[in-house]
Amino acid sequence: MPELNGILLMNKPEGFTSHDVVAKLRGMLRTRKIGHGGTLDPMATGVLPIFIGGATRAADFAAAQEKEYIAGFNLGFCTDTQDTTGQILKKSDKKASPTEIYMAVKSIKGQQKQTPPMYSAVKIGGQKLYDLARKGKEVERPERDVFVAKSELVSFDDQMQCGQIQLVVSKGTYVRTIIHDLGENIGTYAVMNSLVRTRAGEYKLNECVDFETVQNAANEGEIQALLHATDSLFLNYPAVSLTDEGEERAARGAVLFQRHTQNGFKEQQNELYRVYDKQGFRMLGQIRTLDKGGLALFVYKNFR
């Protein structure tokens, strides 16, 4: 039986960590060469790209791509986890108006600094913050730069003081921290009560499958049919096809020149290319400067 290879788009169920999903699929697919591209909290559901076989080498690229979410929130209290799974720390009687919420959500957009929450997998001094938090410890956390490309109010219930926002954010952004800060910005408190990742990079929720679908495909020996090709992660990069000589050079990791490709490439420093041979997608190549001068296509990431 050929080795599975590709990207499985899972609709992560609530209550599972990303690691739980990988562990369950490892048993269902009977493979150890498997990983995920971008952590989701147990509360969250939605798009979780799973990388299988040679595609595992692409997982770090998926983690770095922007993500889109629909997040639910409650106003009037805050918790130690910044969501409704935690212990309530403070309450406020302030009632926010729809206009206040709309303006506050709109102001979230753009470049900003964010302090990771204590209940997170960020490591400080070799220890994960959530391990320290569970021991009742709080430590200084360095701020990180995050970018919010989109921030829109989806709904708001004036009476219940709850609603939903849509966000498109950069790698490493904590949505529950955005909601926590949103509460402070309008003079009250806020917690996240739900989170759905609707997009990861170019992968959308309607492309995802659940465990039952995977199990049925496994029973029928049709798992490969569920997998997206590894190069589907890189369709925004231009493609080049190798000549026979180019294939031989790529196989030993040598640099490639225009004559080693069938369709040529634009010689622009640091440009990334999808590189194909007769067997299909082989690697990502990058245009770099040679020691002796001039530009060539170097191996950036091999997927064979």
Catalytic residues: 41
Kindly report the number of other CB atoms within 10 A of residue 252's CB atom.
7
Tokens of 237: 């990069």
Assign 3-class secondary structure to 121-146.
CCEECCEEHHHHHHCCCCCCCCCEEE
Please give the C-alpha separations between residue 72 and each of 192, 196, 208, 225, in angstroms, as whole numbers.
Answer: 6, 9, 21, 34
CA 99 to CA 279: how far, in whole Å? 57
Question: Angle, to 10 degrees, between the axis of helix 98-106 and the axis of helix 175-185?
Answer: 130
CA 182 to CA 189: how far, in whole Å? 8
List all residues 6 or more positions away from 287 whose beta carbon is below 8 Å from its beta carbon.
265, 266, 267, 268, 269, 270, 271, 273, 295, 296, 297, 298
Alpha helices for 16-144 (secondary structure H): 18-29, 59-64, 98-106, 129-134
Amino acid at 59: A
Identify whether the C-beta of residue 81 lies closer than 8 Å to the C-beta of residue 179: no
User: How many residues make up the chain in this entry?
Assistant: 304
Tokens of 251: 């196989």
Assign 3-class secondary structure to 239-266.
EEEECHHHHHHHHCCCCECHHHECCCCC
Identify whether the C-beta of residue 285 lies closer than 8 Å to the C-beta of residue 272: yes
